[in-house]
Amino acid sequence: VQLQASGGGLVQAGGSLRLSCAASGFNSDYYTIGWFRQAPGKEREGVSCIGTNWDSTLYVDSVKGRFTISRDRAKNTVYLQMDNLKPEDTAVYYCATDFEESCSSSILQYSYKMDYWGKGTQVTVSS
């Protein structure tokens, strides 16, 4: 099981980035994929997840209306489209999966429930 996050970069406030989480070694269609982030000096927090029941989605309040999570089944990849970025979105972003957890507020709150993690991608938003 491998997850590869990419797409981070430096962007000005109000700009957009699209993060990709490429899965290998398993079919991500059948499992919840979550995006998490960790800013310097802060704890890791859940940002969004996409489940397997009709691709249900969930977002942390701070990104609702600005971020969109989606799947590309042909590419076995999950995306996080981030629009209207703010300096407080600056963090290392990680994608993760677990073969038992559903997309829920629980996994966004308790990231340790996710068993498989990719390496992070840095997102820096300048003011």
Amino acid at 99: F
**Per-residue pLDDT at 22 exceeds 90:** yes
Reported as a single tens digit per residue, the pLDDT across 31-60 is: 999 999 999 999 999 999 999 878 899 999
In whole angstroms, give the CA distance from residue 99 to residue 125. Answer: 33
Q: Give how far Cα 93 sits from Cα of 19, 30, 36, 56, 80, Å.
A: 9, 22, 6, 21, 10
Tokens (6 digits) for 6:
């990419």
Residue 79 φ/ψ region, left for φ over 0, alpha for ψ in the -120 to 50 degree band, beta for the rest? beta
60-100 per-position pLDDT tens digit:
999 999 999 999 999 999 999 999 999 999 999 999 999 99
- pLDDT of res. 27: 93
pLDDT tier, 106 (very low <50, low <70, confident <90, very high otherwise)? very high
Distances (CA, A) of 95 to 38, 48, 77: 12, 10, 11
Confidence of residue 115 (pLDDT cuts 50, 70, 90): very high
Per-residue pLDDT, 65? 97
> Exposed (0-12), middle (13-18) or buried (19+): which is 122, by Cβ within 10 Å?
exposed
Q: What local confidence, expressed as pLDDT, does residue 54 receive? A: 83
